[in-house]
Chains A and B, each alone.
Chain A
Amino acid sequence: MIERFGLASDHFGHLNGPLVLLAMLGLPLLLGLLGGALRPARSWPVALLGLLPLSALIWLAAAVAGGPSQSWTLELGSLVLHWRVNGLVLVLLLLTQLIVLVSALYAPTYLRDVVHATRRSQAWFWPLLGLLAASLSLIWLAADLLLLYIGLELMGLTAVGLLLLPGKADALIAGLRYLLLALVGSLAFLLGVALLLGAWGRLDLAGLAQVADEGIVLWVAMALLSAGLLLKAAAFPLHAWLAPVHASAWIPISALHAGLVIKASFFIALQLWLVLVPAAAVAASLVGVMAGAAVVWGGLMAWRAAKLKDVVAWSTVSQLGYLLLAFPLLVGSDPAVAALAWDGTWLQLAAHGLAKAAMFFATGNLILATGESRVEGLAGASRRFPLALLSFGIAAISLVGLPPSMGFTAKWLLLHAALAGDHWGWLAVLAIGTLLSAAYVFRVFRYSFVEDAPTLDFRPVPWGMDTIALVLALAALLLGLVAEWPLALLRGPGGGA
């Protein structure tokens, strides 16, 4: 498993490591600061500048293509930092860049016309967005616990900052609660890291993987690390903070948060498990039980939710359950099962990232158009704003996992893995999750097809915002058929283990 994460330490990169780090972290940060200074009112300058980090990423992908995974170290005195690039990291970086770029494109019109953001909160928005992108990139790239810790903290605090920007009382309260939980989570993480450092005197993952031996220390450390990370990832039963946070946040931030931020914690947790306790099948099935509960409970709550945004937020809890199934399917399972589950997990992560972001954008458009945040408020929506509803629908196809979407292909792989490993319980979880997600998604549609609704006045949505939601949703839909392409990237440099 350690090779799959590109942590095998014997290939040192032929590229300039600090330059890679600078390009991936510095560019978004710089652009964020620029955005904060200029406060763009239109999308096209954002699009132009946003291509910069994307092209840097493409350069990186081209430079490492075909070779083994690349890892670098930087020595600051006796402190050594480690980072690496492999296929998985490239996929995650690409996903991050895309969703951040799309959110940035959505933001100018949204901030100006929809929420009428103050100059001050606009000036904060862009740098924080850049910082969020940088910290996410850091998390994907980091190969030691110190960098991971820094990235995680940076991301958590930036996310809180972004969630607070609306400045309304309920946003503040939800944000405060999120802040406290994030802080507690990071303390648990730090304590776990402290134990690892104390026991083996090193923080680099590759080194730890070699020296760490099973024992009470490793178990307690893993328990603490996982608890902290799963709290941040809103894994059941530590998910209660998620829905209120989304209820009052700005749309692009919700999209980023659900699409990327909680995935980062999941990514770190999975990486630590596979690197440090790759054979802990029993503990992993415990996580699997949590996953099952998340899928069912999240689905039920989404089904019952009265507000449209709550539906989407609870669906995140449920969908995260699918991702958590990666633990029992990957940890301690045989290689054939693990190979399928590996592809399925990352595909599911990307699919959910794209689809959930698209769904949040579509939801934002629907709420903007109807002026109603309740699901009932959508009555007759199919006639009046078909485009927003279509985007919502296409994103929903991927969330439910119906063909030909990316979510379907991911679910196919996970189902295949569960069958191949004779994990009937996880199979049932996937099946129930599909039905529940169909139930909550089609509940929304049911309202939108109501014909005898009172025709309230509605606001037209700027076409740019509609287009963004639609394009993102289509990406989630069509990438399912050509899933071989992201998977090829995943298996790219150093991934063909």
Chain B
Amino acid sequence: MSQAWLPVITLATSLLVAPLIFALPERASRARAVVNLSAAVLKLLLVALMVWGLYQGHRFTFGFTVVEGVSFLLQADALGLMFAGLSSLLWLATTTYAIGYLEDSPNRKRFFGFFSLCVASTIGIALAGNLFTFLLFYELLTLSTYPLVVHRGHDKALAAGTVYLRYTLTGGLVLLLGVVAQHALVGDVAFGQREVLADLGPQAHPMLTVLFVVFLLGLGVKAALVPLHGWLPRAMVAPAPVSALLHAVAVVKAGAFGIVRLVYDVYGISLSHELGLLSLLTAIAVVTILFGSVKALSQQELKPRLAYSTVSQVSYIVLGISLFGPFGTIAGLVHLMHQGLMKVTLFYCAGNYAEELGIHRIDELDGAGRRMPLTSLAFTIGALGMIGLPPVAGFITKWYLGMGAVQAGMPWVIVVIVTSSLLNAAYFLPILHRVWFRQGPAHGRGSWPEERNLGRFETSAWLLLPTAATAMFSLLVGLLAGVPFSPLDLATLMATGEYLP
């Protein structure tokens, strides 16, 4: 049956591209670009095909036994496909961006090879059908991102890589222990078979609570939950496309996605609620959101500020799913998409500023809007989205989060959301003010740190195009949230399925 193979082929498109890229010589940049882009487009089509199939009621599963009682399982459910769709869309954009960004820099073969592996792992995480498969790709993600983080090869990058590994490998180990414990407890359970744990009865509840905390520790590292977030700001030394990937699609999102899976598909929302684990999640999420925002305020450089903003924003996902009720779920799931689109846009912009004008610090941005209007426009859209202003995507999230808080009977969460939005505004609006309203080198005052004229437009078209595209998407998913197939529609579909069996 070809349907069983569809997830495998999707996975293979990027998994097999990696050896192909490694096989191409370093100089063959054009061939590499063709391979990369065509694989990205192909994968996007395949994911679209699966989404279509899902709406038609087809089920895509593929599995085999690894050892007795442990199986490798790929399955395409709505949640997985949403994440797969996000990552393949952003892969296409980021590949395009990276081709432009890394033009004429060394080690491009290595970069794109591991880049493909990284995206393959993300797709694997999205399509994983049980915890074992999830773990497999989760660890593969760690391995494939390490060379990207240390790509520059200078001391700072190497040190960041070491810190990154220390966090993620330990997290992976903790997750492994959790998965093994789960197998020892109930055996091989596919995602969605929530009744298995729920049926264990009350005497298993203390153990399940401990197990949940173990899982959370393992996943929380990648999701950069406070206090496990230490690697994220340091990993900023990586090239801009890598930062974009780490923050928007791959690593951070894999952790958040794992927590979503954990709550909905392993424990089930009602069991999590019963065990009081949702309150734990809420507490962690609130702390992370506020901590990330406050830290972001104190950053003087653009990328670290965005990094702490990620710490804060990813926890909206966690906050959403921790609010018991359909609206909270919708908010969490939809933010999985929204945060990806908006954050990737912001990082592209930061990369554009750095590449074209050599800008790294925020106070160097004065008047950049005049020099790079399109980039600055994209940045503005992303930043307004992060603050949660309509009609950008972020507004939808915050709106549903608020409704979810009311529904879950935790109105105090709204205070947190408002506070966080104010903090978001406090660290984004000054940047926008500098970009648009201050006089800078573009007005004849001083000069840019390191200006290069990379292309016919304000910067190279390879850099500008993805930036504009993702900014537009961020705007569109907010504007067209009510249209079928929009992220909100998908999330609503899933949330309804969750609460109305």
Contacts and interface: CB of A to CB of B under 8 A. Distances in A.
Nearest to A428: B177
Interface in A398-417: 402-404, 409, 412-413, 415-416
Interface in A368-422: 380, 382-383, 386, 390, 397, 402-404, 409, 412-413, 415-416, 419-420
Contacts of A427: 177
Contacts of A452: 153-154
A248 B168 CA distance: 36
Contacts of B67: 343, 409, 412-413, 483-484, 487
A44 interface: no
Interface string B67-111: 110101000000000000000000000000000000000110110
B176 A415 contact: yes
Interface residues of A, number: 35
Contacts of A451: 106-107, 152-154
B258 to A, nearest CB: 15
Given A403-B135, A403-B140, A431-B173, A449 B66 contact: no
A112 interface: no
B2 interface: no
A412 B135 CA distance: 12
Nearest to A403: B136
A403 B132 CA distance: 10
B180 A419 contact: yes
B229 to A, nearest CB: 20
A432 to B, nearest CB: 9
Interface string B140-178: 101100110011111001100110010001101100110
Interface residues of B, number: 40
B355 interface: no
A300 to B, nearest CB: 16
B143 A402 contact: yes
B22 interface: yes
Given A419-B181, A438-B165, A386 B136 contact: no
Contacts of A402: 139-140, 142-143, 172
B360 interface: no
A419 B183 CA distance: 10
Interface in B39-77: 65-68, 70, 72
B184 interface: yes
A435 B171 CA distance: 11
A63 B19 CA distance: 39
A149 interface: no
B107 A382 contact: yes
B153 A450 contact: yes
B170 A435 contact: yes
Interface centre among B72, B162, B180 (most CB of A within 10 A): B180
A386 B66 contact: no
Contact of A446 (B110, B139, B150, B183): B150
Contacts of A484: 65-68
Contacts of B139: 402-403
Interface string B118-149: 00000000000000000111011011001100
B136 A416 contact: no
Given A438-B169, A452-B154, A416 B66 contact: no
Contacts of A69: none
Interface centre among B140, B142, B153, B181 (most CB of A within 10 A): B153
B173 A412 contact: no
A445 interface: yes
Interface in B326-340: none
Interface of B: 22, 65-68, 70, 72, 106-107, 109-110, 135-137, 139-140, 142-143, 146-147, 150-154, 157-158, 161-162, 165, 169-170, 172-173, 176-177, 180-181, 183-184
Given A404-B136, A416-B184, A452-B153, 17 more contacts: A382-B110, A383-B107, A402-B142, A402-B172, A403-B137, A403-B140, A409-B70, A415-B177, A416-B183, A435-B170, A442-B146, A445-B146, A446-B162, A449-B158, A450-B153, A451-B106, A484-B67
Interface of A: 343, 380, 382-383, 386, 390, 397, 402-404, 409, 412-413, 415-416, 419-420, 427, 431, 434-435, 438, 442, 445-446, 449-452, 480-484, 487
20 contacts: A380-B153, A383-B110, A402-B143, A402-B172, A403-B140, A409-B66, A415-B177, A415-B180, A434-B169, A438-B165, A442-B146, A445-B146, A446-B158, A449-B153, A449-B161, A450-B158, A451-B153, A480-B66, A484-B65, A484-B68
**A-B CB proximity, top 8 nearest:** A451-B153, A403-B136, A419-B184, A415-B180, A449-B150, A403-B139, A438-B169, A483-B67
